[in-house]
Amino acid sequence: TQNEKKLFTPGPLGVSYSVRQAALRDLGSRDIVFMETVKYLRSRLVDIAGVSEDNFTAVPVQGSGTFAVEAVFQTAVPRQNGKVLILENGAYGKRMGKICEVLNIPYHLESFSEDSKVDPGRVEELLRGDNSFTLVAIVQCETSSGVFNPVEKVGSIVKKIIPDCVYFVDAMSSFGAVPLDMEGGQVDYMVSSANKCLQGIPGFSYAVARKSHLQKCKGNSRSLSLDLYDQYDGLEKTGQFRFTPPTHTMLAFCQAIKEFDEEGGVVGRANRYKKNRNILRKGMLEMGFQEFLSPEHEGYIITSYKFPEHPNFEFKEFYSRLIDKGQVIYPGKVLNADCFRIGNIGHLFPEDMKHLLTCIKDVCTEMMIDLPLSA
């Protein structure tokens, strides 16, 4: 795979050659082998989530991660008297607000600053002031900045104050590499996608849902294709998807899970990502690049860097010169600062991070930006 670019982005992510190879099989959606594959994947996702199939089920949804996020709002919020509290500190929390708006779901968007975590004390205050919320939603790793939110702590507060309230965690870019105690954090719905830390190819997302709640959600969904209850019901009864499944993507995902296990599961994957992150942090610091987040943030999925205040720095040029060297970084997503982002998840290893740093150094030389940058 000579002419391939390395993706240091939050998705699509680079995946191994063996994962791609696993997709090179045509299977029918009713094929016994495929139905067994779906059953296996659903079971393994519950397993990776660290919960029991007695209480939880995994429901795959065709489409990107946002499809699963929307499917949870569609399904878990009743058509009458539903009210959502969204705790947001970045673009992905804001997107949840947009989903509720389009669906005409009553919601309150509580915003926290993009460079800080959601504050559990403020959540407690909010819920004590208004106990009419039926669902609280939060993002575990806010990929616009890289902040990790205290989701377990928030979950305990939600259930202490409104025991019947549904707790929903978007673990899109964290599931599989950042521990999440679903039982301890009293999480009812968790969503992620095939092409994040589990390193499959894009094409489907999934919800790990508490069965006792999901089974009460029949008829809630305002959408046919995003009805999580109906999708679950169909898979349970027939072992089949209601509409054409992403067969190739699911075969690749089986291989991805095999490689995930071989690497040592959540712990093994987290270790590699942390190594990647440490190399990046050290190298960028030596060049004088400043992180958007202050050092007490422990995130290791993606890092936001402030644009250097050098007269020759121009992001578009910086970005395209890196692309010419086969390195794909990502524009910023925070609103209150000019930033770019570098991810270290997916099929990336310490040597890839070192090579990226060399390329960044070379690009700065080409653009006549003296290093180290002055603060």
Residue 7 has what DSSP assignment?
E
- The dihedral of CA 278, 279, 284, 287: what is its sign? positive
Q: From edge to edge, which strands make up the β-sheet containing 302-306?
A: 302-306, 339-343, 330-331
Question: CA 327, CA 344: separation in Å to the nearest integer?
Answer: 12
Are residues 350 and 358 in contact, defined by beta-carbon separation less than 8 angstroms?
no
Q: Can you tell me the distance from the alpha carbon of 282 to that of 207, in angstroms, rounded to the nearest whole number?
A: 36
Tokens of 251: 């075969």
* Cα 11–Cα 147–Cα 64 angle in degrees, nearest 5: 25
Backbone angles phi, psi at 34, to 5 degrees: -70, -40
Pairing mode, strands 330-331 and 339-343: antiparallel
8 A C-beta contact, residue 205 and residue 191: yes
Q: What is the CA radius of gyration of the chain?
A: 21
> Per DSSP, which regions of the chain are E strands?
6-7, 56-62, 84-88, 107-111, 135-139, 141-142, 147-148, 166-170, 189-193, 204-210, 302-306, 327-328, 330-331, 339-343
User: First CA to last CA across the chain, in angstroms?
Assistant: 39
| 95 carries a ligand binding annotation | no
DSSP secondary structure string for all residues of 293-347: S-TT----SEEEEEPP--TT--HHHHHHHHHHTTEE-EE---SSS-EEEEE--SS
Q: Are 277 and 345 in contact (CB under 8 A)?
A: no
Structure tokens given for 93: 């929390």
Binding-site annotation: residue ranges: 341
Binding-site annotation: residue ranges for substrate: 341
